[in-house]
Amino acid sequence: VGGQPVIERVLNCVGPLTDDLFISTNSPEKYEAYGLRMVDDIYPDKAALGGLYTAIHAAQHNHVLVVACDMPFLKADLLRYLIDLAGSADVIAPVINPPQPETMHAVYSKACLKPIETRLLQNKLKIIGFFEDVAVRYIEAADIAAFDPHFHAFINMNTPADWVRVQTIAEQQF
């Protein structure tokens, strides 16, 4: 995007915000060139919830910012805002399209580990399933708009149509 691999855009945005940057992946060979710590899923084949558990478990701090590696328009100011709220709940989750929170653009505390592990062992893999067992602070779209009025930070690339949309936005930005 804009002549740069998406993962580089993500790392360049998130890197200055932490002293504990790492990648949770089951394909470490894809990211070796970045020289970062990589962690494999503790519970393999448990979808995104397994990766989330691994990321929280691997984090050196009590709270961890979790973002997907396919989000090319992350906003550092918005991420800093979420991080600054970390002490107010176990999960800090934006809600752009209610009622679904943005679970891969959120902050999680170590207090989430046990409730997540319980669900992993029960093979209940919906990420928000454990939210009922922890303190969650939802950040409304109006608050997010102050940092990202078009909510581009939440765009990820899962389909060819997503890729086209991202390229169009990137052309407008550069």
Domains of the chain: 6-173 (3.90.550.10)
Round to whole Å and give the CA distance between 142 and 124. Answer: 32
Q: How confident is the model over 77-124, as pLDDT tens digits?
A: 999 999 999 999 999 999 999 999 999 999 999 999 999 999 999 999
Residue closest to 54 by CA, chosen among 43, 63, 62, 65: 43
Residue 79: HSE in the Cβ half-sphere, 13 Å Cα cutoff = 24
Q: What is the pTM of this model?
A: 0.94
Is the pLDDT score of 174 beyond 70?
A: no
